[in-house]
Amino acid sequence: MFKNVDEKKIRDISKEFAAMISKGSVVLLQGDLGAGKTTFVRYLVEALGGNPRMVTSPTFTIVNEYDAHLKVYHVDLFRLNEWEVEELPIEDYLDPDGITLIEWPEKLGNHVPEEYFKIEFEFVDENHRNIKISSKNDPSRF
């Protein structure tokens, strides 16, 4: 658990995390609105060799794609209800040649992949967050 981190530390954490993931990785991002999920994605895309200025919240588009060393799929399920998520071709974005980042993964229902990383964001104050990273792939890593 990373406690009371500022934006610079979020950037550092995302850079370290980028070195741990590989093709086919799925990352579940949990946290309230404004907790830092998209900020983390921005720095992760940068660490993967992509343009961080291209990263925006996919709240209305549902899925954004970013080019980096790996294709990055950024999925946001916030606006969707259960039946809309069921109709979403989520498997199309679980690309073995890229990585998939999913905000609001609790809405996935039966579509949660067998292996994933989970990053939980907790709002502390305007400039600080708590971040917890875990892995269903290898729980001993975190």
Give the tens place of pLDDT for each residue, 81-125: 887 887 888 777 787 789 999 999 999 888 888 899 999 999 999
Q: What is the residue type of 133?
A: I
* Domains of the chain, first to last: 2-141 (3.40.50.300)
- The pLDDT, as a whole number, for residue 138 is 58
Q: Please report the pLDDT score of residue 22 as a whole number.
A: 92
Query: pLDDT tens digits, residue range 26-65?
Result: 999 999 988 999 999 999 999 999 999 999 988 888 999 9
CB 111 within 8 A of CB 27: no
The pTM assigned to this predicted structure is 0.90
Report how far Cα 37 is from the mean position of its chain's Cα atoms. Answer: 7
For 123, phi then psi, to 5°, come to -70, 125
CA-wise closest residue to 117 among 109, 129, 105, 128: 105
